[in-house]
Amino acid sequence: MAVLMLLNCYLCKNLYLRSMSSLQLYLVKILSQWGLAPDNVVLISRIVLIVAMLLIVIMAYYFCHKILVKIVRRITRSTAAKWDDHLLNDHVLNGVCHLLPPVILYVLLPLAFMDLPGTLDIISKACFIYIVIAVLKLVWAFISALYAISCEKEQTTSHPLKGIYQMLKLLVLAVSVIIIISIVVDKSPVAILTGLGAAAAILSLVFKDTILGLVAGVQLSANDMLKPGDWIVAERYGADGFVREVTLTTIKVQNWDMTITTIPPYALISDSFQNWRGMFDSKGRRVKRSLNIDISTIRFCTDEEQKQFEANGWLEGINDVPKDDAMVNLRVFRNYLERYLRNHPMVNNSMLLLVRQLQPTAQGLPLELYFFSARQDWVTYEKVQAAVFEHVLAVMPKFGLRVFQSPSGTDVQSLYNCKN
C-alpha cells in the first residue's frame, strides 16, 4: 500500500513538472514568434512568469483578506454562538490570509525556474520555511482561541489551563524548529530527532523549569488545588493575596499591598500553602477572638441581680444549672452572649457557635467567642466582629464584670495622688 502511495505521488509530481515545462516552452515559443532575439527570449519569459506569479499571489491575498475574511466575519456575527467568534477571530483569519499566498507561490515556482534547479531549490526552501512559520502562527492563534473559549466555560474556568495551552504552543514551536532545520540541512526530521536524543540531558537542564511547571500545573489542575481568583498565603515566598495568573513557569499573586509576587508552580507542590477558597465557598468566615476578664469580678449573683437578669430575659436557656445552686454572673454573661450571637443578623447560626472559657492566666480569665460571620468579604467581616466586641465590652459592666487591663501610667499617678 505504501509503495502504491509513493508511486502515485511520483507520477503526480512528474505530471506536474511536465505541465510546467510545457507551459514554459509554450511561452518561449510565443515570444520567439514575436521576433525577439533568442538570447533574450528565456530571460523575458522568466520575468513574465515571475510577474504573473506575483500577480496571482497578490490577487489571492487580496481575495482572502478583503472578501473571504469579511464573509466569514459576517457569518460568525450572525450566529448566536460565541465559540465561532473566538475560533475565527482576527488573528486566525489573518493567519490563513498569510498562509495562502506562499502556498500558491511554492506551487508555481517551478514554472519560472524549471531550467535553474539550484535556484529553484534555494527559493523553494525559503518559501517552504515561510510556510512553516505561517502555519506556526496560525496554530498559535488557534490555540489562543481555544483558550479564550475555555475561559468562558463554567466547567473550565476553575482550572489553570493557561500553562497547558502554553505547553501546546511550545510543542508546536519545537516541531516547527525541527522541520525548519531539516529543510535547511536537507535531512529527514526523524534524523534530526535521533540526533537530539543524544542531547536530551542538556535539553532537560535548559527546560527544567518548563518541565517542572508543566508537571506541577497538571497536578494543581487535577487535584483542584489552585485556580485564578483564589486567595492564597505562601509565607515562605511572601505571597498573601489573590492569584491573578497561572502560567507554565510562574504563578502571579497580587498581595494586599498591591504588589505582585511570582512563584514557580512546582514550589506550591513541594511546599505547603494556604488556600482560602474553602472559606469563600462556605457560608461564613470564622471569628475567633478572646478577651481577659478580671477574675476578682467573678462572683455569685445577688437576689436583686437575679430578678433583674430574669426580667431582662438573660436567664432564658440556662437549664444546666440546678435551681438550688447560686447563679454566677459570668455564667449569665456567657448565656447572654450566646443568645446575642444567635440572634445577630450578621452571624451564621447554622455553623459552629460557642462562648467558652480558656485556661486562666496571670492576665485574667480568657473568654473566647467562636462564631462565623455571614459575610466573607474582608471589610464587612471586620465590621461585624468589631461591632460584636464593642457590644461585649459595653454590656459587660451590667453583669458586674470588668476586663483585665494592666496598670498604665495614669493608674499609677492616680494611686500616688490618693496616697498624698
Give the domain ranges of the chain.
12-157, 187-281, 284-399
CATH architecture for the domain at 284-399: 2-Layer Sandwich (3.30)
- Would you say residue 330 has pLDDT above 50? yes
At 116, is the pLDDT very low, low, confident or very high (cuts 50, 70, 90)? Answer: confident
13, 304, 324 from 311: Cα distances, Å = 105, 11, 19
DSSP string, 343-366: T-TTB-TTS--EEEE---BTTBEE
The pLDDT value given to residue 399: 92
Instruction: Tell me the average pLDDT across 231-244.
Output: 89
- Would you say residue 26 has pLDDT above 50? yes
Give per-residue pLDDT as tens, 255-265. 988 999 988 88
* pLDDT, mean over the chain: 77
Name the percent of the chain lying above pLDDT 70: 73
The pLDDT value given to residue 386: 94
C-alpha cell at 416: 500616688
Residues whose CB falls within 8 Å of the CB of residue 293, separated by 6 or more in sequence, listed in order: 330, 364, 365, 366, 367, 396, 401, 402, 403, 404
23, 172, 294, 406, 410 from 414: Cα distances, Å = 116, 81, 20, 14, 6
The pLDDT value given to residue 33: 54
The pLDDT value given to residue 317: 75
- pTM exceeds cut of 0.85: no
At 179, is the pLDDT very low, low, confident or very high (cuts 50, 70, 90)? Answer: confident
Consecutive H or E run containing 304? helix 303-311
Give per-residue pLDDT as tens, 353-369. 999 999 999 989 999 99
The pLDDT value given to residue 287: 93
- Would you say residue 144 has pLDDT above 90? no
CATH architecture for the domain at 187-281: Roll (2.30)
The pLDDT value given to residue 2: 34
Distance CA 201, CA 208 (A): 10
- Would you say residue 253 has pLDDT above 70? yes
- Would you say residue 114 has pLDDT above 60? yes
Distance CA 166, CA 140 (A): 9
Instruction: Tell me the average pLDDT across 312-331.
Output: 75
Q: Which among 317, 326, 318 has a CA at the least distance from the CA of 298?
A: 326
DSSP string, 86-128: HHT-HHHHHHHHHHHHHHHHHHHHHHHHTT-HHHHHHHHHHHH
